[in-house]
Chain A
Amino acid sequence: MYAEFGNYLLVFALFMSIALSVFPLAGTFLNKMPLVFSARPLSILLFSSLLGSFVCLAYAFVIDDFTIAYVAQHSNSLLPSRYKVAAVWGAHEGSFLLWTLIFSGWLLSIALVGKNLPAKSYARVLSVMGMIGCGFVSFLLFTSNPFERTLPFFPIDGSDLNPLLQDFGLIIHPPLLYMGYVGFAVSFAFAISALIEGEWNATWARWARPWTTAAWAFLTVGVALGSWWAYYELGWGGWWFWDPSENASLIPWLSGTALMHSLAVTDKRDSFKGWTLALSLSTFSLSLLGTFLIRSGVLTSVHSFTNDPERGRFILIFMMIVVFSALVLFIFRSSKVKTRANFSLVSKDMFLLANNILLIIACFIVLYGTLYPLIAAFFDRKMSVGAPWFNMLFPIPSVAIFILLGVGPLLNWKKHDIRKLASALIKIAIISVVVSLLSVWLLGDFYWWVLGGLALALWVGLTSFYHLGNVTQHAKGLKNKLAKLKAATIGMVVAHVGVAVLLVGVVLTSYYSVEKDVRLASGESQTIGQYRFEMVKVEELRVENYQSSMATFSVYKNDNFLVNLYPEKRFYLAGKQVMTEADIDAGLFRDLYVALGEALDNSGEVWSVRLYVKPFVRWIWLGALLMGVGGGIALADKRYRKLKFKEAKIDIPNRESGSVDSSSELDLSDDVAVKQ
């Protein structure tokens, strides 16, 4: 019964989203305030019904209800409970329910926190979100319903969750990633609302900024988690494959990074409005494009969900409606947005603008490379564009961005006299190059990319610290210095340092990783550099829902015992799948990675084994984590909490009399609030 209830909740959610799309917006055009104020309760109802629906599905998994097709396909009675819950989003239907739930969560947050917005803008933003929500819920209900039953013939036990997914990564990666993806719908909704209103100013930007930064931070961490998970799970030691599904998350991320920086300029300088608008619209559109490409089955990816042309077409049409509306609105309404080039060549504005251009170029490269095989398919060619192409082109705009990153934050808005800064910059540049040269000499083989990458990373890191010094130079003592720093500044520095850390990880691991595939018998060893890997023994075990051949490896560094590693070859009983579980000794400066291949003889004593020594690979994810944390810190800035809108005074409806007064005078002294 509860599954049907979950389904009815989805239907209810659909009605709520339709109501939310129509009523508040209609209220803004017809000037009927009760309609306008319906936005908040409708948002609460929408979120609640989706939450209820999600809980019903989770319950189905927890109690092993295999009369529900989705549960039967992706779960099993032997599945450990934590994975039963995570399995809710382990495949298409359930993960899309999670997606929609998270979307409604963002919607609810605006509804609850948006008290400082003018009532009509508030209503408009929520209506736009409602329209998008309507699309998502319809997609769920009509093409991807997780509550379909297997009755009357239901299986005794489920098909089990893919063993690759029976992992911690499944618990955290999709939720955080989705938080990012759909979070950009907020700035999208703001942009649409502003276009409808015909008003796009700095206050809007200030309002949209924290939401966008939050979404960006989530997406950053989500993408990083995906990379980390693939690294330790898939066993080939790589952390980025340029697979279409990875690209689908990187493309909106690049656009989102440009958006986030563009919003900063619009906020501070009341310029770049066209850019910010366009980026707001495009970032979420790119999120939708990514979803379409992955869930429609149009792109081949290891990460694809089961595809279905019907589903693909539904998302396609929905996406096209959203993008087309945005495009048309932009074309016809953005003339109201004035553009100004109120900055000189050497200014923070200019560097941020250059940064935007470069990020968009990078975004184009990833998008184009991902879509090109599809373009070729249209002309009857079946071809591939893979890592080699991306690795050749993507670094080009990236290098330019890193160079500018060192200078931009140090400049003033509008105009900066570079002569005063130049000497400091030159000194930092020299230090960067010298230290990199030293490092490369210490590391061993010489590679230009390592030299360049390290130098750029130092450049970015050192200039960030220099900036901190600059900002606090007039305060004496650590405590005073810290007091002088705003959250936004700290956040920015942390995030930029994160970029430097990531860059170090990328170049060092790419060039100095060592991989060896060897044949080892019990008792034999293999040496890589200072590390000796000795395969002590291999045992057979039975755990939870699988059987395992587990090897014990003793690792010695310079002949001193370091650690034991236990890679496994698992045979999952329910789905009869074989999987390799590598074991990693994670370290700040290197990872030691062991994976079992095949038993090469019948006794199980001789195995093919893969050994890796991967220097600095953790820096990649630490760097990304720092970026996300930096974003989080920047959000905490006091400036956002004190937002007040100075606009037309709108009176709250009088509960007793039921009358509403609205005046359109420009009252610059009052706050306007949506209080209910």
Chain B
Amino acid sequence: MMKKNSGNVFLSVLAILLFIAAFIWFYWLTGQDKTELPSQLIDSPAPTFKVVDLLDESIVHTQEEFKGKISLVNIWASWCPSCYVEHPYWKEYSKNEDIVLVGLNYRDKKQKALKFIREQGDYYDWTLFDENGRLGIEFGVYGAPETFLIDREGKIRYRHVGVVDRKVYNEVFLPLIDKIKKGF
């Protein structure tokens, strides 16, 4: 079937090249985190909303409150184990005067959410109570914890999935916050 002619040599070389490409491709794939979903809202305005405050029912928040400040919106819930791990970090980050910390309590029961705040501490400047999870869906949330960085114009600049530990905060968030401060 395979006579030694230029056509077959070409095919053979092609086959070997494809093979090598496939190997590199598969090797690269084994190192990837397949659960990660990139946010669709990067560089878009934060979604429009009217959501009640967790601690004070009479206060209604909207996306206008993001304007003029740099905000970190943290998606959390009492049913999320990693949120308990992450929460103490917010105490540290709240000391950063450049940013406003906003909590978004996602798909939670009010009593359990309030218990969480009582026991773990309240480090947010204000907290949204997204009981039915619709605001989370507007943000493209698919799990907790997640954290969004929103700039002074109310645009979403970055979404982090998972715990924002010191490494993530220092290496990812702070440089971005700096960049926004400088007007970019």
Q: How far is the CB of B158 from chain A (nearest CB, A)?
A: 16
Interface size on B, residues (CB 8 A): 22
Whether the pair A323, B19 counts as a contact (CB closer than 8 A) is yes
Chain A residues near B2 (CB-CB < 8 A): 274, 330-331, 334-335, 337
B29 near A377 with CB under 8 A, answer yes
Q: Does B37 contact A (CB under 8 A)?
A: yes
Contact with A along B29-66 (1 / 0, CB 8 A): 11110111110000000000000000000000000000
Contact B37 A331 (CB under 8 A): no
Task: Please name all residues of chain A whose beta carbon is closer than 8 Å to the beta carbon of B30 when the two chains form the complex.
Answer: 296-298, 309, 312-313, 316
Q: Mark A603-647, 1 if CB is under 8 A from B, else 0.
A: 000000000000000000000000000000000000000000000
Q: Which of A277-312 contact B (CB under 8 A)?
A: 277, 292, 296-300, 309, 312
Instruction: List the interface of chain A (C-beta within 8 A of B).
Output: 273-274, 277, 292, 296-300, 309, 312-313, 316, 320, 323-324, 327-328, 330-331, 334-335, 337-339, 374-375, 377-378, 382
Main secondary structure of the interface of A (DSSP, over half): helix
**A335 neighbours in B (Cβ, 8 Å):** 1-4
Q: CB-nearest residue of chain A relative to B25? A: A378
Residues of the B chain whose Cβ atoms lie less than 8 Å from the Cβ of A320:
19, 23
Cα of A309 to Cα of B31 in the assembled complex, Å: 6
A274 engages B1 (CB within 8 Å): yes
A313 to B30, CA, bound (A): 7
Quick one: closest B residue to A315, CB to CB? Answer: B30
Task: Knowing A327-B16, A331-B15, say if A339 contacts B32 (CB, 8 Å).
Answer: no
- Scoring B23, B29, B34, B38 by chain A CB atoms within 10 A of each residue's CB, the highest score goes to B29
B28 within 8 A of A: yes
Pairs of residues from A and B, 4 with the lowest C-beta to C-beta distance, nearest first:
A274-B1, A312-B30, A339-B1, A331-B12
B27 contacts partner chain A, Cβ-Cβ < 8 Å? yes
A382 x B37 contact (CB < 8 A): yes
Q: How far is the CA of A296 from the CA of B30 in the complex (A)?
A: 7
Chain B residues within 8 Å of A309, by CB: 30-31
Q: Provide the residues of chain A in CB contact with B37, threshold 8 Å.
A: 382
Give the complex CA separation of A270 and B136 in angstroms.
66
C-alpha gap A603/B139 in the complex (Å): 38
Q: How many A-B residue pairs have CB under 8 A?
A: 60
For the complex, what is the distance from the CA of A377 to the CA of B33, rounded to whole Å? Answer: 11
> What would be 24 A-B contacts, judged by CB atoms less than 8 Å apart?
A273-B1, A274-B2, A296-B29, A296-B30, A297-B34, A298-B26, A298-B29, A298-B30, A298-B34, A299-B34, A309-B31, A316-B27, A320-B23, A323-B19, A327-B15, A327-B19, A330-B2, A334-B2, A337-B2, A338-B1, A339-B1, A377-B29, A378-B29, A382-B37
Q: Which of B103-151 contact A (CB under 8 A)?
A: none
- Chain B residues with Cβ below 8 Å from A323 are 19
**Which residues of chain A come closer than 8 Å to B38, judged between CB atoms?**
382
Seen from chain B, the residues whose Cβ lies within 8 Å of a Cβ on chain A are 1-4, 12, 15-16, 19, 23, 25-32, 34-38
Residues from chain B with a CB closer than 8 A to the CB of A327 are 15-16, 19
Once bound together, how far apart are the Cα atoms of A320 and B26, in whole Å?
Answer: 10
| CA of A328 to CA of B36, assembled, Å | 38
Give me 7 other A-B pairs in contact (C-beta within 8 A), A300-B34, A300-B35, A375-B25 excluded. Answer: A274-B1, A324-B19, A327-B16, A331-B12, A374-B25, A382-B37, A382-B38
Q: How far apart are B67's CB and chain A's nearest CB, in angstroms?
A: 31
Q: Are B1 and A334 in contact (CB under 8 A)?
A: yes
Contact B29–A374 (Cβ < 8 Å)? yes
* Contact, CB under 8 Å: A316 / B23: yes
> Bound complex: CA of A300 vs CA of B37, how far in Å?
13
Chain B residues contacting A334 (CB-CB under 8 Å) are 1-2
CB of A386 to closest CB in B, whole Å: 15
Least Cβ distance of B145 to chain A in Å?
20
Report the separation of the CA atoms of residues A170 and B36 in the bound assembly, to the nearest whole angstrom.
31
Contacts of A337 in B (CB 8 A): 1-2
Q: Report Cα–Cα, A673/B86, bound state, in Å.
A: 72
A321–B118 Cα distance when bound, in Å, is 59
Q: What residue of chain B has the Cβ atom nearest to residue A334's Cβ?
A: B2
Q: Which of A273, A328, A331, A378 contacts B28 (CB 8 A)?
A: A378
Q: How far is the CA of A375 from the CA of B25 in the complex (A)?
A: 8
Contact of B26 among A274, A316, A330, A338 (CB under 8 A): A316
Is the Cβ of B1 less than 8 Å from the Cβ of A292?
A: no
**Chain A minimum-CB-distance residue to B1:** A274
Closest residue to B30 on the A side, CB-wise?
A312
Closest to A275 in B: B1
**Which residue of chain B is the closest to A292 with respect to CB atoms?**
B26
**B34 — which chain A residues lie within 8 A by C-beta?**
297-300
Which residues of B are found within 8 Å of A374, using beta-carbon distances? 25, 29
Query: Given the complex, which residues of B lie within 8 Å of A312, measured CB to CB?
Result: 30
Q: Give chain A nearest CB distance to B159 CB in angstroms.
A: 14
- The answer to whether A377 touches B32, judged by C-beta atoms less than 8 angstroms apart, is yes
Instruction: Please measure, in the bound complex, the distance between the C-alpha atom of A338 and the C-alpha atom of B29, giving whole angstroms.
Output: 40
Q: How far is the CB of B128 from chain A (nearest CB, A)?
A: 27
CB distance from A378 to the nearest CB of B (A): 6
Hey, which chain A residues are within 8 Å of B26, CB to CB?
292, 298, 316
Docked pose: A328 CA to B25 CA in angstroms = 20
* Bound-state Cα–Cα, A320 to B36, Å: 27
Point out the residues of chain B lying under 8 angstroms from A338, CB to CB: 1
Q: How far is the CA of A375 from the CA of B31 in the complex (A)?
A: 14
Cα–Cα distance between A324 and B22 once the two chains are bound (Å): 11
Whole-angstrom CA separation of A382 from B28 in the bound complex: 15
Q: How far is the CA of A382 from the CA of B12 in the complex (A)?
A: 32
CB distance from B141 to the nearest CB of A (A): 16
**Residues on the B chain within 8 Å of A274, using CB:** 1-2
In this complex, the member of A292, A297, A300, A375 whose beta carbon has the largest number of chain B beta carbons within 10 angstroms is A297
- The minimal Cβ–Cβ distance linking B14 to chain A, given in whole angstroms, is 11
Distance, CA A331 to CA B28, complexed state (A): 27
A378 CA to B30 CA, complexed, in Å: 12
How many angstroms between the C-alpha atoms of A277 and B23 in the bound complex? Answer: 23
| Set of chain A residues within 8 Å of B19, measured between Cβ atoms | 320, 323-324, 327
Report the nearest A residue to B35, measured CB to CB.
A300
Q: Which residue of A lies closest to B38 (CB)?
A: A382
- In the bound complex, residues from chain B placing their C-beta under 8 Å from that of A328 are 16
Residues of A within 8 A of B28 (CB): 378
CA A277 – CA B2 in complex, angstroms?
12
Q: Which of chain B's residues has its CB closest to A277's CB?
A: B1
Contacts of A273 in B (CB 8 A): 1
Q: How far is the CB of B113 from chain A (nearest CB, A)?
A: 23
Provide the bound-state CA to CA distance between A328 and B12, in Å.
9
Tell me how far the C-beta of B44 lies from the nearest C-beta in chain A, rounded to whole angstroms. Answer: 17
Q: How far is the CA of A313 from the CA of B16 in the complex (A)?
A: 20
Report A-chain residues with C-beta under 8 Å of the C-beta of B31.
309
Residues of chain B contacted by A375 (CB below 8 angstroms)? 25
Interface centre among B2, B32, B35, B36 (most CB of A within 10 A): B2
Smallest distance from the beta carbon of A258 to chain B beta carbons, Å?
16
Residues of chain B lying within 8 A (CB to CB) of residue A300? 34-35
Q: With the chains together, A544 CA to B30 CA distance in Å?
A: 40
Chain B nearest CB, measured from A160 CB (Å): 20
Q: How far is the CB of B7 from chain A (nearest CB, A)?
A: 13
- A562–B60 CA distance with the chains assembled, in angstroms: 58
Min Cβ gap A126→B in Å is 26
Closest to B15 in A: A327
The distance in angstroms between the C-alpha atoms of A330 and B2, with both chains bound, is 9
Residues of B near A296 (CB, < 8 A) are 29-30
B79 to chain A minimum Cβ distance, whole angstroms, is 15
Kindly provide the distance from the CB of A379 to the nearest chain B CB, expressed in whole angstroms.
11
Residue with the greatest number of chain A CB neighbours at <10 A, chosen from B1, B28, B34: B1
